[in-house]
Every structure is written in C-alpha cells, then in structure tokens.
Amino acid sequence: MTPAIRSEQSRQAIVDAAFGLCAERGFAAITIEGIAARAGVGKTTIYRWWPSKAAILIEGIETARDAAAGFPDTGDIRADLAAQTSSVMALFNTEFGTIWRGLIGAAQSDKAAADGVTRILRVSIDACVARLAKAREAGQIRADLDLELAVELLYGPIYHTWLLRTRPLPEAYMEAVLTTLLPALVPAPGEPSS
C-alpha cells in the first residue's frame, strides 16, 4: 500500500472516528485523544491535518452536506425548494444532525467551530441565492426580493424548530412553510416579474 493510500485511509478513519464519537457522546465530551484512539492513529497524525476536533468535524460535515443536500434545478422553484428542504430535514435526522447541532452550539464560544459553521452556511446560502436568482429571471420570484432575506425566511423555520426542538419536524412541515411563505415571494397576478 502506497503512503498516499495509507494517508487517505488514516484521514478518513479520523473523520469517521470523530463523527462516531460525537454522535454517541456529543461535541463537548469528545477529545483528540479519544478520536486518535478510535481511529488507531497518534495525536500527532491528527494535528498534522487539523488544529482541533471542530476542524475534523467541519470537514466531515462539508463532505456529507455536499453529498446529500445539493440544490436541484428542475425549472420549478417550488418543487426545488420542497426537494432541497426535505433533503436538509432528512439529513438533520441522521448522525449528521447530531454533529451539526453540536458544532452550532460550540460555535457560540469556539472560534474554529464558528468559522467552520459560517463557511458551511455561506456555501449553502450562496447555492440557494443562486437558485432563487435563476427563478427570479424566469419570473417565478419577485424582482424586488432580497434573496438573502428569502433564504433566511425559508430555512429559519427548519433551524428554529430543529435546534430548539419546539416540535417534531414531520415530512409535511416544509410543505406547510412553503404554502405560507411562497405567496410573499412570487409576483402578484399582473405584476411584472422582472
């Protein structure tokens, strides 16, 4: 086995170990020592690639998010928002959600976690803004709409309900949110769309 393959296997083992431990014990309870022990590597191997446990988890979160919650473009903004928000909610109901919740909590006092969470959210916000801009060009979204505000209005209910655990998030939750919110985002009948 070449050093590059061994190195990549060790790297993945570390991310997997960090994910597993965080899902089992929570962000605050995991340590670099524990991650190293589970991954079968030394602490120095971990510190060669990451400065903190938050950085390891952020890398894993980015990979998982990219694989599971991309933004579709079918030409129908309502269908695309419904599909994407459904993917996000499904992802939040997995090990990913436990880890993401822990990182968001840690971001309140840990700069590495805060920087990573901000970077991850920025990518997601930009993807949604790009899709909304395309929908605006197609006349499906109001021309005067602040697209970043629209993203906050669309995803705020998911984060609020999921983070605060105020109620269950059934599959139909975002359908209700979209039914309530979309009339404010689309052009009024007879209004020019752009």
For residue 193, being part of any structural domain is answered with no
- Number of domains present in the structure of the chain: 2
Tokens of 51: 């400065």
The CATH number of residue 163's host domain is 1.10.357.10
In order along its 194 residues, the chain shows pLDDT tens digits of 666 666 888 999 999 999 999 999 999 999 999 999 999 999 999 999 999 999 999 998 888 777 666 788 999 999 999 999 988 888 888 888 999 999 999 999 999 899 999 999 999 999 999 999 999 999 999 999 999 999 999 999 999 999 998 888 888 899 999 999 999 999 887 665 55
What is the Cα Rg of the chain in Å?
A: 20
Count CB atoms within 10 A of the CB of residue 20: 16
Answer yes or no: do 26 and 84 share one domain.
no
Domain that holds residue 41: 3-49
For residue 87, the model assigns a pLDDT of: 87
Answer yes or no: do 19 and 78 share one domain.
no
Answer yes or no: do 86 and 168 share one domain.
yes
For residue 190, being part of any structural domain is answered with no
Answer yes or no: do 62 and 40 share one domain.
no
The CATH number of residue 9's host domain is 1.10.10.60
Q: Which of 101, 79, 122 lies closest to 23 in space, CA to CA? A: 101
Answer yes or no: do 7 and 85 share one domain.
no
* Terminal Cα distance for the chain, rounded: 58
Answer yes or no: do 43 and 75 share one domain.
no
For residue 157, the model assigns a pLDDT of: 94
Answer yes or no: do 79 and 160 share one domain.
yes
Helices (H) and strands (E) in the chain — how many of each? 9, 0
Instruction: Tell me the pTM.
Output: 0.84
For residue 156, being part of any structural domain is answered with yes
Answer yes or no: do 77 and 168 share one domain.
yes
For residue 32, being part of any structural domain is answered with yes
